[in-house]
A and B are shown apart, each in its own frame.
Chain A
């Protein structure tokens, strides 16, 4: 629970109660979607976010769901309000929107927005954004690793009303459902989103009934100021200066070209400019980020670096200015494909902020994480029902080490905060694969005083014909360490067709242009796929790691004796480290 102080007009208790009411409403919106949705990407992975805005388009509260969305939704909602104007909204309306070139993160993420009227005036907007497992793209699951235009990534929806004055707009529903492979699932997930908005609308009205319009408005105005003030105070603790970092996306699924990204981060007193000028031109393939994604990734980094009790509203984002030149990989121009910008480029940008600040605030930064949301998409026909199905499968990666703590093992990357789909749900819902193996990969975490988290490995055996796609990164480059820590281990994806004796790349077997970004490959019963996810980078020199922690890792199977000797100078005979 947040505790708010320093109120000018309201007592701290009232201010705190209103802040927590707004935030808990957003959390309840998410729980409602989790419990009522149809697809596992909602009810298992929790790939959604929930927010409340004021009529001026200022975000008043949000819940801690998917970090890549909690920043982008600000732009998605603002775009909708600016393009349409307040006069476009009537009581009971619900708008839907997924167009990346109007501020949505990428096409699969659908935003729904509902105005809240109180005494015949709009007093708030409630909104959620959620990743649909099937947006009507060229391949099942939506993320096509070799897409060359946004049109291949799903049905583009500008802000349109899916409900008008409380009634469904059947024409819009028909258009959307006719374009999705899994209309029943989409229908159920959309209903879950709408139900979540209805819940939030009722709560906001309850808030106004309880406290009155003037008190709520005073409180929200002050909460925005408090959040801004507290974020500025956090920034003030970072030494003034200009900090630089570079990283790259290793390929785009179309060619073997790497796409460098450059960050020039200026900290001056209480404000920050994150300037990506000099980053590579936009890619031909789907690794481009739109402006909102780049901005959101920067916000995400600073939410990790600062006090988590700062109210998560518009105010905490005010001190940040993001410069992303149009036509580049960090702010692509229409109609470039963007699916992987939100899943792959986003975590890389967040890591770049940590990398840039490693010398300025060494106690707070984190080494690079596995840096991929590990999108492995698949779909086919369920032999039990004859219905089409589609799924976006996440895989966890190792997170970077940080001061006082090894990196998280096998957690969905830093921009996702999503949960892995349990094997039982995976196998029950989708009659495509049996999970033969699912384990942590020893030695995948970057050595360091604080070790990078471990990546994982999953082996899937096909049991029914299935079409697969992938959009993975950190398969050619390693997640870097910080402050003397070593790199984590890169990942990979391999195929073994029935009858083959060894694992091969998709390039070797299917002639894909990238080993980790491709789409529309049909596999058959008996074929196997191996997914290996990257580990995280290490933090600090290996010589500083306590011997007891090395021994603990050996005992747990997190590192091998061989690597313990090579990386840490560990000798099992006496347990003493041999430095050098």
Chain B
């Protein structure tokens, strides 16, 4: 959606299928969109940090949209930050 910084590096990634326990219902949230992931998630390393996503397309959007818009140091999963610019 917007151009990614040229320095961003993304690994190939892999699907992960964690065990789900009915005793501990905690779930992974996608670090791009914030959606709680029921079970299988996409794990990719971006600039040396391993992150969890709904699927590969959200890993790509994390690079193409999230980082240019909000910066590298936060994710949707970790913060609710202020926009850099805003108008109504």
Contacts and interface: CB of A to CB of B under 8 A. Distances in A.
B53 to A, nearest CB: 12
Contacts of A306: none
B76 A323 contact: yes
Contacts of A273: 1, 61, 65
Given A244-B87, A277-B76, A326 B34 contact: yes
B81 A277 contact: yes
B80 A325 contact: yes
Nearest to A82: B38
Contact of B61 (A246, A321, A328, A331): A321
Nearest to A247: B88
A275 interface: yes
Binding site of A, secondary structure by majority: helix, strand, loop or mixed?
mixed
Contact of A281 (B35, B36, B80): B80
Interface size class of A (residues with CB under 8 A): 35 or more
Contact of B34 (A75, A103, A325): A325
A161 B58 CA distance: 33
Contact of B38 (A103, A323, A326): A103
Given A244-B86, A275-B69, A83 B38 contact: yes
Interface residues of B, number: 30
Interface stretch (A264-272, A370-378, A406-414, A519-527): A264-272
B38 A266 contact: no
B1 A78 contact: no
B33 A245 contact: no
A271 B57 CA distance: 13
B8 to A, nearest CB: 18
A327 interface: yes
Contacts of B58: 321
B48 interface: no
Nearest to B61: A321
Contacts of A102: 25, 38
A158 interface: yes
A323 B33 contact: yes
A43 to B, nearest CB: 33
A83 B20 contact: yes
B33 A322 contact: yes
Nearest to A323: B33
B50 interface: no
A262 B83 CA distance: 9
Contacts of B77: 325-326
Interface in A97-125: 101-103
A321 B77 CA distance: 15
Contacts of A245: 88
A79 B83 CA distance: 31
B33 A328 contact: no
A278 interface: yes
B86 to A, nearest CB: 5
Nearest to A295: B35
A324 B34 contact: yes
A295 B32 CA distance: 14
Contacts of A325: 34, 76-77, 79-80
Interface string A523-566: 00000000000000000000000000000000000000000000
Given A266-B65, A322-B33, A323-B76, A101 B25 contact: yes
Interface string A452-480: 00000000000000000000000000000
A280 B81 CA distance: 10
Q: Which among B22, B38, B61, B88 has the greatest number of chain A C-beta atoms within 10 A?
A: B38
Contacts of B83: 244, 262, 264, 277-278
A394 interface: no
Contacts of A278: 80-83, 86
B40 interface: yes
B88 A326 contact: no
B16 interface: no
Contacts of A262: 83, 86
A86 to B, nearest CB: 13
Interface in B56-80: 58, 61, 65-66, 69-70, 76-77, 79-80
A37 interface: no
B29 interface: yes
A392 interface: no
A82 B80 contact: no
Contacts of A326: 29, 34, 36, 76-77
Contacts of A334: 25
A291 interface: yes
Given A277-B83, A281-B80, A79 B34 contact: no
B85 to A, nearest CB: 9
A327 B36 CA distance: 11
A220 interface: no
A271 B88 contact: no
Contacts of B80: 277-281, 325, 327-328
B58 to A, nearest CB: 8
A244 B88 contact: yes
Interface in A272-300: 273, 275, 277-281, 291, 295
Contact of A101 (B35, B36, B70): B36
A327 B61 CA distance: 21
A331 B34 contact: yes
A291 B34 contact: yes
Interface string B7-46: 0000000000000101001000100111110111000000
Interface of B: 1-2, 20, 22, 25, 29, 32-36, 38-40, 58, 61, 65-66, 69-70, 76-77, 79-83, 86-88
List the 5 closest A-B pairs by CB distance, nearest first: A82-B38, A325-B80, A79-B38, A324-B34, A325-B76
7 contacts: A82-B39, A103-B38, A273-B65, A279-B80, A322-B35, A326-B76, A331-B35
